[in-house]
Structures are given as C-alpha cells and as structure tokens.
Amino acid sequence: MNILDHIIADKKVEVALKKAVIPAAQLEQSVLFNRECASLATALKNSTTGIIAEHKRRSPSKGTIHQNTNVAQVAKGYQKAGASGMSVLTDIKYFGGSLEDLLLARSVVTMPLLRKEFIIDEYQVLEAKAYGADVILLIATVLTQSQIKNLSEMAKSLGMEVLLEVHNQKELEKSLMPSLDMLGVNNRNLKTFEVRLETSKTLADEIPESFVKVSESGISSIEAINELKTFGYQGFLIGENFMKTNTPAKSAAEFIAKLKL
C-alpha cells in the first residue's frame, strides 16, 4: 500500500466512528448550516493574484511544517494580505488539522474557506457545511465517477462550491460534469510526492473554459504563477511556501504584494 491507500483506509474508519458519535441530523442543526456561502470561483475570477492561502501544520511528504500555529491569527492575516480564499486542512492523523481549525477560521474571516480533506462520504460534506466551509475539495484519484457526481451534487444542493482535483488526463476525463465549479490540477503525485509544474501546463488546454482553473502544489515563485496565468489558470493554492516560515500571514502579504507589481 502507498501512503494514499493508507490515508483512505484510515479515513473510512474515522468517518464510521464519527457517524456513530455525531448523527448527520445533529450536523444539520449547526448554527452555520444555513449560512449563505461565499463564492471562491467568483473571488478568483475577480482577483489579479488568485492566491488561495493554505493552513497546513504537517504532511506525509514534508513532516512537520509549522505545528503550533494559531489558525485564527493566520486566517485574519491571510485575509488582510489579500488572499482570494483560504484552504484549511482538516485531516488529523496525517496533516495535523481538524474541523475545529475550520471553525476557528470561519469565526474571524469572511473570505471563502475551502475544507481540504479526503472526502469519501456524504457525511463529510455535511460536516464541511456545519463547520463553515464555502467549498469542498474532491480528489478524483480516490473517487469513482458516480461518487464525484453524488458528492458534488450534494455540496451544490447545500449552497457550497466544489473544487475537483486531478493529476492526469484520465482523471480529468472521468470528472468533467456540471456540478463542479473549479478544476484543480495537483502538481504533486500523491503516490510518489514528486512535484512537476508541467502537469498543470499539460492539462490546461483539456479543461473547458466553463471551469475556473486552479494550480495546486509546488508553487513557490512569482515567475511560476505568471507563467501559469498564460495557460489560463486563475487560482493558485499555496500552503507550504507560507506555512514553513515563522509568520505565514506576513509571508503571504509579501508574496501577494510582489504579484501585484
């Protein structure tokens, strides 16, 4: 089994345990469940920078990145820096995140929040809504076409947007459907963790214009973003580049300021 297989196996156990403790009906009673979601797709279209700044404490490939961050402070800093949206890792075992991180971020910012998670079950979509997410991430490599359809349509029915992540042509072809808002190309191979920006460039022309194009992982320079913009990308998900510094929000502010020059 590769690391992704382990993550999904553990996620199935985790979701089953959560279902036994907190019924779906209880999630639907959340104060945040009926809030109107902000549009990340619109924010990216209207932005000159398109930065989705991520909060990530650790990862299987990099180990600890920034373990003891205050997610609320980071969120406020990202918003002040001019990020179009924020991605919040909620996986506990492999990334050190939690749904509480999402909730804390929601309590202090109005910008769109993406729940970044290995979503495999409708229950997790309800969780995302209940804890204040505006957008969910679906990862094509771990889902069937019917799962992508069901999960994305459910998210849309709850007023959320959907960012679908692909790594290659085959995943893209099985995933294109009207219930998606954004198509993300992950430059990191989730099985080997190798990063290649060429992945985004290669798949760019295959993504229909009706979807907002987002490039994910391995983006660390202004030059890379400016080059990817020529391929039609409007969103750029950056986590490690900010989170590996002592002051993620300040790093994001400096990076975004340079992009505007």
* 187 catalytically annotated: no
Q: Which of 87, 175, 217, 251 is catalytic?
A: 217
* 116 catalytically annotated: yes
* 216 catalytically annotated: yes
Residue 102 to residues 85, 132, 170, 173: CA-CA distances in angstroms?
13, 7, 32, 31
Q: Which of 11, 116, 129, 213 is catalytic?
A: 116
* 241 catalytically annotated: no
Cβ contacts of residue 182 below 8 Å, gap of 6+?
Answer: 40, 41, 44, 135, 161, 162, 163, 164, 211, 212, 213, 214, 235
Q: Which of 56, 84, 127, 161 is catalytic?
A: 56
* 173 catalytically annotated: no
By C-alpha distance, which of 55, 84, 83 is closest to 69? 55
Q: Which of 186, 187, 200, 251 is catalytic?
A: 186
* 217 catalytically annotated: yes
Q: Which of 117, 171, 216, 240 is catalytic?
A: 216
By C-alpha distance, which of 95, 96, 142, 134 is closest to 114? 134
Q: Which of 54, 127, 161, 171 is catalytic?
A: 54
* 161 catalytically annotated: no
Q: Which of 165, 200, 215, 251 is catalytic?
A: 165
* Active site (catalytic) residues: 54, 56, 116, 165, 186, 216-217
